[in-house]
Chains A and B, each alone.
Chain A
Amino acid sequence: MDVDAVFGAAQVARTERFERFHYVLWVLSQIALFAVLAIYARRGVAFVRESAAGPIGTGMLLGMLGIAIAWLVRIPFRVVAHWWNRRYDQTDLDYLEWIAEDWAILAAGFVSLCLALLVVMGLARWLGEWWWLPGAGVFVGIAALFTFAFPYLDFGTTQPLEAPALVAAADEYERELGLPDISLRVEEVSDYTDSANAYAVGFGPSRRVVFWDTLLMEPFSEDEQKSILGHELAHHAKRHLAKGLAWFVIFAVPGAWILMRATRGRGGMGRAEAVPLALIVVAVFQLAAAPAQNAISRRMEAEADWTTLELARDPDALEGVMVDLSRSSLGDPDPPGWVQLVLGTHPALADRVAMAEAWATREP
């Protein structure tokens, strides 16, 4: 496929320029992250003296401090990335708003980390080295609970979708896919970004499809919006979220076992002293598992694309979506292989266009 012909040579050059900068930043940021986590794994134990809490409380403190240091070290990269995004109109957030948002994300990270450490350290103190088996189960349970409850936690940030054509299309698609009535929502993001996105969340009665309001504006046509709708409903129809949880089990069990083995030298995860080491072990495991996880994700996205082609029978619309996404979100149509390997949760835009063209060729 001729990428320049489909996306426009100037646009391709622009997205490449935009993305290349982010790739470099990502690599540098990862190097800084692992360097600081390695140092913290060796020296972080000294912070034990800053705690009057018991082993689990002290472990929480050490975990939070590790995350905090990693956050501090990566601030310059994130500031530069934000500057770059502003330069390319990918965000209108000013630096103060961005900092406030970044602090909120860090705070949420602290809470999640403390919950995880409470589970792991509590089980490790109770069950010794066998904590990893029920521990992985608890994490899967928490992930399932979160996936189910997430749609209810939008705190009023979404509104019901009211576009009649899309609602009618949703009814038709749901009937064809054998789905019950799925809630369609709109999230307002156009105040601070031109980027476009949509996502499927929840399972069972909490299933939803959420559109960013930028997707409901120009340049996305009504046919393109229907194509995106079909894609998101396909995620629900093909049970991708439940399958994602099943995959999570496959990664969580060995991940927990590796964590147990790696921290044995520090007395195991029941001891606060093991937490600084655990942070880098988890970070390395996540990076190592990313190619496999991304491959699974790309497979599911491709399946959703194919399903929407079957539903809407409009390959031009899907191709239009990809071209418009490249323009609005500055996605590189044909990113380097290594980027797809470690960061690519979706097929490359060029591949998705190629799939639409292949479908059209197969079913003229």
Chain B
Amino acid sequence: MAVPSSERPIRLLLTDGSLERSRLTVFFRLILVIPHVIWLVLWGIATFFVSFVLWLAVLINREAPRSLHDFVAGYLRYATHVGAYILLAADPYPGFRGRPGYPVDLEIDPPVEQSRWSGFFRLFLALPALILAAALGGGLAFSSPGGASSATTEENAIYVATIGGVASIVAFFAWFAILARGREPRGFRDLTAFALSYSAQAWGYLLLLTPRYPTSDPALAEPWSGLPEHPVRIAVTGGLEHSRLTVFFRLLLAIPHLIWLLLWGVAVFFALVAAWFAALVTGRVPMALHRFLAAYLRYGVHVSAYVYLVGRRFPGFTGRAGSYDVDPEIDPPAPQNRWKTLFRFFLAVPALFVAGALGGVLLVVAFFGWWYALVTGRMPEGFRNLGASCLRYSTQTYAYFLLLTDRYPFASPILHGRREDVVEEIAAPPLGDAL
């Protein structure tokens, strides 16, 4: 069962639901943020020394002194503000003191007792979380020339804007979207906020603000995120237990599926061309072609889920609906806008980029999940759900690409649960996350 975000010691607060953005400040965002970056680096240098003292304090006393804890927490909060500003998840220019009240803010619990062993090895223990945070790109970074392995020397570069990662890709496309429409797509904002939330947990763990390991469960985003109605959804039903043997040989076991996927893909290419012409002429994809393409997409998701350890069992070869633990639900064919059909392959490009970046996250999840499952025989729920979330977005992207729907994929990380007000707000823009 996922832990509610309110029970986490480091929580992201999204106090301003507005998606309106000033085009002027967005256009110059990277320049405007320069003073913050300088200040962040200076504060980061101080934080490095303070966190070293804090580390010694934890080793001796098992608990961080309140003053040091607040200093580092203030830095983390400020870094989150700056990260949100750079990544376009928030619009107001942040203050320089990291005070509470920014639209994308952090709530950090007071210091608690920590295990000395966990404190001593914190840098190593935090590495998987930091790598996942880098893949999510939530404003944290292995952006210094020292690279990921030298976290101690790069703490002065913490929270400098990242190059790469999901949030950066999303921010890149959001920049164009905002300049065009004056507001940020909701899914993009939610995904960035989730990335910031996870990164804050990861760095809070490294900097000894909490002994609780970060959770990557997208359920964290549920308080401030939502899912609109979409013709393509994903159902996750399987358990978390895995056979160690099938985990160890997972990639090799998938080889027959990968070969079959490749062969089936050849037929799909021709079906897609036929579907494209049919949709252009008649305004909808014929039922037989829709079923064929949907089965292929479903099968691809089953296989991906199996390979990336999101799914537990060996999938079937037919892509039958409801046959797998992680199963796409695809609505029957509906009328499609001919203009969107005509330019479908160009319109899909941004979503394909985001899906590609989420593929990187999926890879990290699978890598660490593989080791974890090999030892414990179980996949962490947070990893499984984050993997499923990445697959959901990819499924919607490829459904859009394969003409199964003309609804653009929605980037919010959550898997289920939505608020009605969110639904209404999201349903309004005709292109969803599209530019």
Which chain B residue shows the least CB distance to A47? B243
CB <8 Å contact, B316 and A53: yes
In whole angstroms, how far apart are the Cα atoms of A114 and B254 in the complex?
11
CB <8 Å contact, B323 and A106: no
* Chain B positions within 8 Å of A69 at CB level: 245
* Chain B positions within 8 Å of A317 at CB level: none
We find that the number of chain A residues with CB closer than 8 angstroms to chain B is: 22
A61-B259 contact in complex given A52-B325, A68-B245, C-beta closer than 8 Å: no
Question: B252 within 8 Å of A by Cβ?
Answer: yes
Q: Identify A51's interface contact among B252, B255, B259, B313, CB under 8 A.
A: B313
CB <8 Å contact, A107 and B252: yes
Within 8 A of B (CB), among A88-145: 103, 106-107, 110-111, 114
CB <8 Å contact, A52 and B245: no
In whole angstroms, how far apart are the Cα atoms of A106 and B302 in the complex?
23
Within 8 A of A (CB), among B300-339: 302, 312-318, 323-325
CB <8 Å contact, B243 and A111: no
* Distance in Å: Cβ of A65 to nearest Cβ of chain B: 6
Which chain A residue shows the least CB distance to B313? A52
Q: Mark A44-82, 1 if CB is under 8 A from B, else 0.
A: 000101111110111011001100110000000000000
CB <8 Å contact, A54 and B316: yes
Which chain B residue shows the least CB distance to A111? B255
* Chain A positions within 8 Å of B324 at CB level: 52
A50-B313 contact in complex given A65-B249, A68-B249, A69-B245, C-beta closer than 8 Å: yes
Q: Identify A110's interface contact among B255, B314, B315, B318, CB under 8 A.
A: B255
Which chain A residue shows the least CB distance to B318? A54
* Chain B positions within 8 Å of A110 at CB level: 252-253, 255-256
* Chain B positions within 8 Å of A61 at CB level: 246, 253, 314
* Chain A positions within 8 Å of B249 at CB level: 64-65, 68
CB <8 Å contact, B314 and A51: yes
CB <8 Å contact, A107 and B256: no
* Chain B positions within 8 Å of A52 at CB level: 302, 313-316, 323-325
* Chain B positions within 8 Å of A56 at CB level: 317
17 A-B pairs besides A68-B248, A107-B255, A111-B256 with CB distance below 8 A are A47-B245, A50-B243, A52-B302, A52-B315, A52-B324, A52-B325, A53-B314, A54-B317, A57-B315, A57-B316, A57-B317, A61-B253, A65-B249, A65-B253, A68-B252, A107-B252, A114-B256
> Which residues of A are in contact with B by a Cβ distance under 8 Å?
47, 49-54, 56-58, 60-61, 64-65, 68-69, 103, 106-107, 110-111, 114
> Which residues of B are in contact with A by a Cβ distance under 8 Å?
243, 245-246, 248-249, 252-253, 255-256, 259, 302, 312-318, 323-325
CB-defined A-B contacts under 8 Å, sample of 24 = A47-B243, A50-B243, A50-B246, A50-B312, A51-B314, A52-B314, A52-B315, A52-B316, A52-B323, A52-B324, A53-B314, A53-B315, A56-B317, A57-B316, A58-B314, A64-B252, A64-B256, A65-B245, A106-B252, A107-B252, A107-B255, A110-B253, A110-B256, A111-B255
